[in-house]
Structure 1
Amino acid sequence: MRRESDVPPREPGTAVETGPDPVDARLGARLAELRAEHGWSLGDLADRSGVSRSTLSRAERAEISPTAALLNRLCAVYGRTMSQLLSEVESAPAQVVRAPEQSVWRDDASGFVRRSVSPPLPGLRAELVEGRLEPYADIAYDRPPLPGLEQHIWVLDGRLALTVQGTTHTLTTGDCLRFRVWGPTHFHCPGPEAVRYALVVVRP
């Protein structure tokens, strides 16, 4: 693990330096494929996503591990949910998704762990995610991956402060918030314990 002093300055909220990782390598290759499918240069994608060309290039080459904020921006450009994108670098999901087979993705930069409990499946519009935020962690998304995306968030343990359309909702164990995403959202764990929640995503 690199010490903080060893890590060079990076674009805020975009990526964190890591060693080689097979998932990052597959994800980088898929991001490069998507850009090629659209016929975009790195400059074109940078203009559309608001992410620098150098960060996009390094993510495609798996030189950095993308953060949740960066993936959210790319999902918005490519018209995918994050679960759809991540599922494209894994094998096709079975009808029964056993606990050991549920893929887990970590954003160490923001203290976020994401388990894909029920990943996207052709013919189904909903997916189920388990999220975990470490105490005092923050995740800010500047746009939805798909405008009008329906979300239901059920807090399983702890407290979650979630800002949607400029209104902050403080949720505790057992509370559920449901909404459609049209603009920025902000997830915050006010502590002192971590928060764990179930997220149901329904594509419009």
Structure 2
Amino acid sequence: MKRDDGAPDPMDARLGARLTELRAQHGWSLGELAERSGISRSTLSRAERAETSPTAALLNRLCGVYGRTMSQLLSEVEAEPAPLLRSADQPVWEDRASGFRRRSVSPPHTGLRAELVEGRLTAGADISYARPPVPGLEQHIWVLDGTLDVTARDIEHRLDTGDCLRLRVWGPTRFRCPGPDAVRYVLAVVLP
């Protein structure tokens, strides 16, 4: 996404550069990455050049190809990790097209297995992921405000304020806010 002055958003620029680095580390062309991810070459190219802000679904597919969680990928484009991350410094990423806002609550650290994320979905928002970035990923979803429908293994779970769902993710998942209000939840992610 572009800023008002026409320059790419700094987070999108860092993310695009990191996506380019990851592809180069694997020795893949844009065409090879497109085949592996199911994302068109033009979309991949625009994301790498920060001409567009990637969606959550697109990042999830790329994370699956690269064997990372979304938090790991996003932490790789942030500053050096510290043990304490103040609320005002917690990075926020938005997928405006889908109504999803993600705050990385845990201080980033690539060597640790667990992390906390705050998610917000606007009323009516519906996000589907074709597969987890890492098979067998453990998730704890704790709803702080609102209602969230989570579908995993073709089973839909309705979570209301205070409810917590624990699951291992092996296949497609779906997060949907049925409304009428937005939902705010904590997602604890634990690598297998």
Q: TM class by shorter-chain length?
A: over 0.9
- TM-score, normalised relative to structure 2: 0.96
> Does structure 2 conserve the Cα–Cα contact (< 8 Å) formed by 1:140 and 1:184?
yes
Structure 2: gaps spanning 5 or more residues: 3-7
Alignment of 1:33 with 2:1, yes or no, is no
State the alpha-carbon separation in 1 of the partners of residues 171 and 156 from structure 2.
Answer: 14
Q: Residue 122 of structure 1: CA displacement?
A: 4.2
C-alpha distance in 1, partners of 2:110/2:122? Answer: 33
Structure 1 Cα separation of the partners of residues 55 and 38 of structure 2 = 14
Q: Partner of 1:23 in structure 2?
A: 11
**Match for residue 179 of structure 1 among 155, 160, 167:** 167
1:192 to 163, 168, 180: 180
Pairwise mapping of residues 68-79 of structure 1 onto structure 2 (< 5 A)?
68-79=56-67
Task: Give the corresponding residue for 2:82.
Answer: 94
Correspondence 1:59 to 2:77? no
For 1:103-152, what per-residue CA distance to the aligned partner results, in whole angstroms no more than 9, with x for missing partners? Answer: 00000010000000004314421000000000010111001000000000
Of the candidates 134, 145, 155, which is equivalent to residue 133 of structure 2? 145
Is the CA contact (8 Å cut-off) linking 2:83 and 2:107 kept in structure 1? Answer: no
Aligned length: 187
Do 1:83 and 1:119's aligned partners in 2 also have CA atoms closer than 8 Å? no
1:23 maps to a residue whose letter is M
CA contact (8 A) 1:84 1:119 kept: no
1:93: how far off?
2.0
CA contact (8 A) 2:72 2:110 kept: no
Q: 1:102, 1:120 → 2: CA distance? A: 10
CA contact (8 A) 1:114 1:132 kept: yes
Note the alpha carbon deviations across 1:21-57, whole angstroms, 9 max, x for none: 1110110000000000000000100000000000001
Q: CA RMSD in A?
A: 0.8
Unaligned runs of 5+ in 1: 1-17
Paired residue for 1:14? none
Structure 1 length-normalised TM: 0.90
Aligned mates of 1:63, 1:123 — CA distance in 2: 31
